[in-house]
Amino acid sequence: MEIMGCIAQIKGKKDSGKTAVIEKVIGMLRTNFPGITIAVFKHSHHSLDLQGKDTDRFRRAGADVIVFQEGEEESVIFLPGFQGFKLIDLIPVDVVLIEGFSKIDVSRSFEIDNVSQIEETSRKVFENLVECLKVEKRNDERKEDPLVLFALSILKKYGLR
C-alpha cells in the first residue's frame, strides 16, 4: 500500500478563516472526487486530554496508545510517544489537510490573513490538490476497511509482519 502525497497546509492567525477554508476544500473534493479519503490534522493549544480524566491518567501511567470512544460515533486516539509530525506517515488517505502546525515545512502551504480571503484561498488549495491528485497514482480498487488500511500502514512503516 502506498500512502498518497497530496498534502496541503493552511496557516494563519486565530480567526483568519483557516477552518472555513478546510471545510470548503473538503466539500469541493467530495463533489469532484467521490470516494476520496481525506484526513485533517489540526494543531491546537487546547488540550482534549484533560487533567485528572481517565485518558490523562492512562497517559501518565505510561500507555503508548489510548483510544477513547464516545458511544458508537466518534473516537479519539492519543499517541503520547509520537514526537513531531511522524503520524502523517501512518494515515492511509488520498489527501491530508493541515490546519496550523506553522513550524513544520510542507511544500503546499497556503497563508490566509483574514476571512475575506476564504473563497480565494479555498480555490487555490483545491486547484493545487487537483493537480497533485492527477500526478499521484490512485488505487481505485481499494475497497478495504480504513482501520485495516491503518493497521497495515503501521506494519509496513515499521517492517512488522
Given pLDDT bands bounded at 50, 70 and 90, which one contains residue 140? very low
Convert the pLDDT of each residue in 63-100 to its tens digit. 877 777 777 777 777 777 666 555 666 667 888 888 88
Strands 38-42 and 74-78: unpaired
Its pTM stands at 0.68
Q: CB pairs under 8 A, 24+ apart, for 138-144?
A: 138/4, 138/94, 139/1, 139/2, 140/35
What is the percent of the chain where pLDDT is above 90? 29
**Helix or strand run (H / E) with residue 10:** strand 6-11
Convert the pLDDT of each residue in 6-38 to its tens digit. 889 999 998 999 999 999 999 999 999 988 888
Q: Which three cell numbers stand for residue 88?
A: 502523517
Q: Which three cell numbers stand for residue 64?
A: 503508548
- The pLDDT of residue 10 is 93
What domains, with CATH codes, occur in the chain? 6-46+83-157 (3.40.50)
